[in-house]
Chain A
């Protein structure tokens, strides 16, 4: 081929069909919005049931996680996510799906090194970086408090 790598890369990039951005955004908006609206709905439902607000704050994500895990187990989460994109990835449903889907697959490698270890191949980094940044924030917050 008589062209260099850079020219080829540009050529390939130019001819590749793009993802339909507007359609993707609209679907992400609708599905993501619906999940959040549903969460708000059950939040209010739990309050109506006279559950303490502090508990409700934990109970709502737990409910969403439960439903997302169930949907993944039943096998229709991926069909929805294929269309929804960020709509199912960004809410906590994406985290939940990332935990259970490798667990389902890797059952064939046993319950310890299969399910137990592989559960965190995608979701692990989320916890790692979340915890690390929270510790850094905690230390800075403490230092600011000491100095003040």
Chain B
């Protein structure tokens, strides 16, 4: 619970070709069907997406980069280079984060806490992922011919940015709950939903337990990116714990694509998937007053190519952020 809930002063999202062909296309600010964003390598393209989303969000908030207290950013690439290069030109204090697909919520939690405490008055939260950089790092070369299993998820080419400020007209970040690592022994990289679902369950039940709230109290409970498998698993487990959330629950990985029509197997994943969904779709619906109380739980599968080859299981994490149109007391 935050005493001085920070407000979202600006937001922006940038996506690639397949994401722009998906059901949320009209909610994104920018897209490039070549997915290169004018750069000559995929890694540079990903940084450029983050840089563009930061600049757009700043412009919407009518701020310049110098007014930011700090930038919290992350991506999936080794040593978070996507974020470092993107933040280079802003010349502001910078925190590089790694939380896999949970990065956007991780950054939002940290920024909100620091704004709440008064340490900063404005922060930017950025996250991005790119299908091509993730494919190269975690899976196979782009042109390598192999089949994907039905439970696999596609890393989204997407970036999102939020500008959070201590003063403003909302929507507000009312509560945050950082997650703990939960590892249920899943080793299959092609079923990340199953690896992350227990972490989401852990954070959600803790939240409902501590606040006494119920799923019905929210317009939308949004996980980022459990995909179809994880979506099914968490529904099952929440139901057996006495929380029926089928009516208000959705997952960014399922919303970003037309999962069957675009042959996306289990749905989307990657830092950018929930970042663009929240900083595009969710924020625009807040603006239109179609949403007023949303629980956003971003999950991350915290493995590396080396840990997978050593046969270790995939640790999962889930950070929770409650976004509300009202500031409250």
- A interface list, Cβ under 8 A from B: 1, 5-6, 8-9, 11-12, 15-19, 24, 72-73, 75, 77-78, 80-82, 84-85, 88-89, 94, 97-98, 100-102, 104-106, 108, 122
Question: Could you say which residues of chain A place their CB within 8 Å of the CB of B47?
Answer: none
Could you tell me if B146 and A89 are in contact, using CB atoms closer than 8 angstroms? yes
Q: Is the interface of B mostly helix, strand, loop or mixed?
A: loop
> How many residue pairs at the A-B interface have CB separations less than 8 Å?
92
Inter-subunit contact B143/A72 (CB<8 Å): yes
Q: Is the beta-carbon distance between A104 and B143 smaller than 8 angstroms?
A: yes
18 cross-chain CB contacts under 8 A:
A1-B184, A1-B198, A8-B185, A9-B184, A12-B186, A12-B194, A12-B229, A15-B229, A17-B150, A72-B143, A77-B145, A78-B145, A81-B147, A97-B144, A98-B144, A104-B141, A104-B142, A105-B142
Q: How far is the CB of B301 from chain A (nearest CB, A)?
A: 14
Q: Which residues of A contact B185 (CB under 8 A)?
A: 5-6, 8-9
Q: Select one of A16, A100, A102 contacting B191, CB under 8 A.
A: A16
Of B144, B146, B148, B229, the contact of A102 (CB 8 Å cutoff): B144
State A81–B151 Cα separation when bound (angstroms).
18
The 10 closest A-B pairs by CB, nearest first: A81-B145, A5-B185, A101-B141, A101-B144, A101-B143, A12-B194, A17-B150, A105-B141, A108-B41, A102-B141
Interface residue count for B (Cβ, 8 Å)? 30
Q: Is the CB of A81 within 8 A of B141?
A: no
Q: A16: which of B136, B140, B151, B202 is its contact (CB, 8 Å)? A: B151
For A101, the chain B residues whose CB sits under 8 A away are 140-145
Answer whether residue B37 sits at the interface, using C-beta atoms and an 8 A cutoff: no
Contact B136 A105 (CB under 8 A): yes
State the main secondary structure of chain A at its contact with B: helix
Q: Does B232 contact A (CB under 8 A)?
A: yes
**Given known contacts A16-B191, A72-B145, A89-B145, what 4 new A-B pairs fall within 8 Å (CB)?**
A5-B184, A8-B198, A17-B150, A108-B43
A42 → B minimal CB distance (Å): 21
**B61 on the A face (CB < 8 A):** no
Q: Does B325 contact A (CB under 8 A)?
A: no
A115–B284 Cα distance when bound, in Å, is: 44
Residue of B nearest to A5 (CB): B185
CA distance A73 to B40 in the complex (A): 18
Q: Which residue of A lies closest to B228 (CB)?
A: A17
Known: A5-B185, A8-B185, A12-B186. A88 touches B145 (CB 8 A): yes
**Residue among B40, B42, B150, B232 with most chain A CB within 10 A:** B150
Q: Which of A1, A82, A98 contacts B237 (CB 8 A)?
A: A1
Q: How far is the CA of A77 from the CA of B145 in the complex (A)?
A: 6
Does the CB pair A1–B201 fall under 8 Å? yes
A75: chain B residues at CB < 8 Å are 143
Contact of B147 among A17, A85, A108 (CB under 8 A): A85
